[in-house]
Every structure is written in structure tokens, then in C-alpha cells.
């Protein structure tokens, strides 16, 4: 059985890779399909993302990277896939994903959406979180494969990210009140 794992993957994270790795044990083939989305301004071009995915999945012989535009179900039919693979992190994902799965079912009754629950350690992780940390000079080495961390640092024009905040003890007195927080990582200089 062939599964399509569609997404933006801008960039691919360890959370995505966990889904791909587990999916590759369930299906004969997993096609990681990068959506060419004219409505989003990405950090990486589709070609860069494909290259990043290929390097990150080279140890998985039944995983392929490809790009597509238009409807995912049309692409799935074209690739003779029977399954759309998606990952679920939180209730917020569930609402959007369920709506998408139902919509796709109205377009093709032949294609099933299969959800894999995130592994606990990646339940907070998204491409946006990675970009936000890197934009403010933080290390993303623990969130993406090494070659992608380098690509990200190049994009934000810094080669020496500050120490990972999770390895730096923050005592309650140093912690930043919620209203000063950017919503992701605390600004240690505030």
C-alpha cells in the first residue's frame, strides 16, 4: 500500500521524521509530498525542502520525496496511493485535520486518511517553532537534523546560536513574566 505524507515541511523537523519513520514500517511506500503553495511565503524553496527531505530520509529505502500542486487527492490518485498520512499533535490539529479528512473523502471515496499520534517528545514541535527560535538566535540542533540546522542558521545569517535554553537553568526569580514573553522562548536579556 502506498501512502502520501503531504505538507509544507518548511523545514522538515524531527517530529515529521518520526511520522515518516513510523509510516515507513506500516506502508510499502511513503511519498513525502511538498505542496507548492502560492499563498505562503516559505523560508526554503520547494527544491531546497526536497533536498533536505531526501538527505534526512536516505536511510529509509521505501521513502520518496516529491512535490505537487493542486488537490492532494488528485495527486494521490496520480501516484496510485490509497492513503493520506497525517500527524496529530493536539486538539487544535485534530479539528483542522478532521475537517480536511472529511473534505478529501467527499472528493475521493477511494482514499483513506490515516493519522499517527505524535511521539510525546515532539508534541510541541512545528516548523514555525523552529523558525521562531532560530530567528532570535537560539539553537535548533535538538529539533531538526544537523544539515537542516545549518541551512537555517545560514538563512538567519548566524553561525553560532546561543546555548539551548533548556540546558540553561532558569531560577524562578529570573523567569520572565508572561506579558513580557514573546510567546515562545524567553528573551534572556530582558
Which of 113/139 has CB closer to ligand ADP? 113
Q: Locate cell 530567528: which residue?
A: 135
Phi then psi dihedrals of residue 184, to 5 deg: -125, -90
Nearest-angstrom CA–CA distance, 116 and 112: 13
Contact 121, 17 (CB under 8 A): no
Say whether residue 15 binds ligand ADP (CB under 6 A): yes
- For the question of residue 16 being annotated catalytic, the response is yes
Pattern of binders to ligand ADP over 17-36, x per CB under 6 A? --x-----------------
Q: Are 31 and 78 in contact (CB under 8 A)?
A: no
Residue count at the site for ligand ADP (CB under 6 A)?
15
Q: Given the rule CB under 6 A, which of 14-22, 50-58, 153-161, 179-187 is the region that contacts ligand ADP?
A: 14-22
Candidates 3, 4, 8, 161: give the one binding ligand ADP (CB under 6 A).
8
Pick the binder of ligand ADP from 7, 138, 145, 161 (CB under 6 A).
7
CA 109, CA 102: separation in Å to the nearest integer? 10
Residues 128-187 that bind ligand ADP (CB under 6 A): none
Q: Rounded to 5 degrees, what are φ and ψ at 123?
A: -65, -20
Based on the residue annotation, tell me whether 127 is a catalytic residue of this protein.
yes
Question: Distance between CA atoms of 31 and 21, rounded to whole angstroms?
Answer: 12
Candidates 49, 118, 144, 148; binder of ligand ADP (CB under 6 A) is: 118
At which residue does the C-alpha cell 502506498 appear?
Answer: 2
Task: Write the binding mask 64 to 93 for ligand ADP: x where contact by CB under 6 A, - elsewhere.
Answer: ----------------------xx-x---x
Kind of pairing, strands 63-68 and 83-88? unpaired
Interface residue list for ligand ADP (CB under 6 A): 7-9, 15-16, 19, 86-87, 89, 93, 118, 122, 125-127
Amino acid at each position: 500500500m502506498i501512502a502520501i505524507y503531504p505538507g509544507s515541511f518548511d523545514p522538515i523537523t524531527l517530529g515529521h521524521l518520526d511520522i515518516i519513520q513510523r509510516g515507513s514500517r506500516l506502508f510499502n511506500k511513503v511519498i513525502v509530498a511538498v505542496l507548492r503553495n502560492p499563498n505562503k511565503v516559505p523560508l526554503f524553496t520547494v527544491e531546497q525542502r526536497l533536498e533536505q527531505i531526501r538527505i534526512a530520509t536516505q536511510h529509509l529505502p521505501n521513502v520518496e520525496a516529491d512535490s505537487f500542486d493542486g488537490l492532494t487527492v488528485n495527486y494521490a490518485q496520480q501516484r496510485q496511493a490509497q492513503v493520506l498520512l497525517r500527524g496529530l499533535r493536539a486538539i487544535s490539529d485534530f479539528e483542522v485535520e478532521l475537517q480536511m479528512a472529511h473534505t478529501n473523502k467527499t472528493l475521493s471515496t477511494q482514499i483513506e486518511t490515516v493519522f499517527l499520534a505524535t511521539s510525546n517528545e515532539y508534541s510541541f514541535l512545528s516548523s514555525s517553532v523552529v523558525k521562531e527560535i532560530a530567528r532570535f538566535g537560539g539553537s535548533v540542533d535538538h529539533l531538526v537534523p544537523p544539515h537542516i540546522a545549518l541551512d537555517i542558521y545560514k538563512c538567519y545569517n548566524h553561525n553560532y546560536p546561543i546555548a539551548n535554553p533548556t540546558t540553561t537553568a532558569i531560577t524562578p526569580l529570573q523567569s520572565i513574566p508572561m506579558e513580557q514573553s514573546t510567546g515562545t522562548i524567553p528573551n534572556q536579556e530582558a
